[in-house]
Amino acid sequence: MAQNAANAIISDLRDRIQHLEGAVARAKTVLPFGVSEIDERLPGGGLAYGALHEFAGGGAGAIDGAAAALFAAGIAARTKGKVVWCLARPDLFAPALAQVGLHPDRVIYVEAIREENVLEACEEALRFGGLGAVVAETVRLPMVTSRRLQLAAEGSGTIGLLVRRWRRQTEAGDFGHPTAATSRWRISVLPSDPLPVPGLGRARWLAELIRIKAGESADFEIGACDAKGRISLFPDAGNGSDQTRRTVNSG
């Protein structure tokens, strides 16, 4: 009887050790952008799985907000498996997500009545595991809530993508408050890529990495996500030019 009890304790300890080792291994897994100038600025060479990443538009307007959502969608598109997208406003344009590689057959939409419920659903999805990514749209992200989401992501190894969307200009200031997110990005729309003939070229964004744990902040002029969720760095935006600037360490 005593031997059985000892075996049960040993088995439980082994399970705990495997869980801890698995969490450490997942923390080292990253999703690279495939653009060396960007990936080399990110610890491990990409966005960490098992972590929370935060995105917002560069201004309070809908255009920059849409760019931030598409930037996050492109990241989700490059993961494997289903993507859960939690939101309170049913105004997400699915064809736009498909254009950046996140096709409807991969997305599970979770609509909530209140923003608090969006974050609760996001936490549950992150804890569930086995998903490519979990995306949530929210105006506010309290520090305590962000810590819960970060811990949930660490526990399952799933990448969490928080898109900050403002209903009014006064809410944009909330993005300045600290959160537990591993990285924080601000996306702004720039004039599209010029063409030799009349027409609209590829959309361009200013991607500001304003905070990254164990790394330095930086700005990048990029081409918007293509049909596979991939971005590109404009040729004149590399090699330490004015378009790619290193700033003070904020990690």
Residue 18 binned pLDDT confidence (cut-offs 50, 70, 90) = low
Looking at the predicted structure, is the pLDDT value of residue 105 above 70?
Answer: yes
Closest CA to 203 of 212, 190, 215: 190
> Exposed/middle/buried for 235, CB within 10 Å: 0-12, 13-18, 19+?
exposed
3-state secondary structure of 117: helix
Q: Give the span between the Cα atoms of 159 and 39, in whole angstroms.
A: 17
Check whether 138 has a pLDDT greater than 60: yes
d(CA 250, CA 217): 6
Kindly report the pTM of this predicted structure. 0.81
Q: Which helix (H) or strand (E) holds 6?
A: helix 2-27
CB-based contact 222:204 (threshold 8 Å): yes
Decide: 170 and 176 in contact? Cβ < 8 Å: no
**Contact of 106 with 133, CB cutoff 8 Å:** no
Which has the higher per-residue pLDDT, 177 or 22?
177
Residue 164 neighbours by CB under 8 Å, 6+ apart: 54, 55, 56, 57, 68, 137, 138, 139, 141, 174, 175
Residues 207-216 have pLDDT tens digits of 999 999 989 9
Say if residue 238's pLDDT is above 60.
no
Residues 6 or more apart whose Cβ sits within 8 Å of residue 229 = 73, 74, 75, 76, 77, 78, 100, 101, 102
Buried/exposed 141-176: b ≥16 CB within 10 Å, e otherwise: beeebbebbbebbbbbbbbbbbbbbbeeeeebebbe
What are the residue ranges of helices labelled H in 28-171?
36-39, 62-77, 94-99, 115-128, 143-156
Residue 24: which pLDDT band, with cuts at 50, 70 and 90?
very low
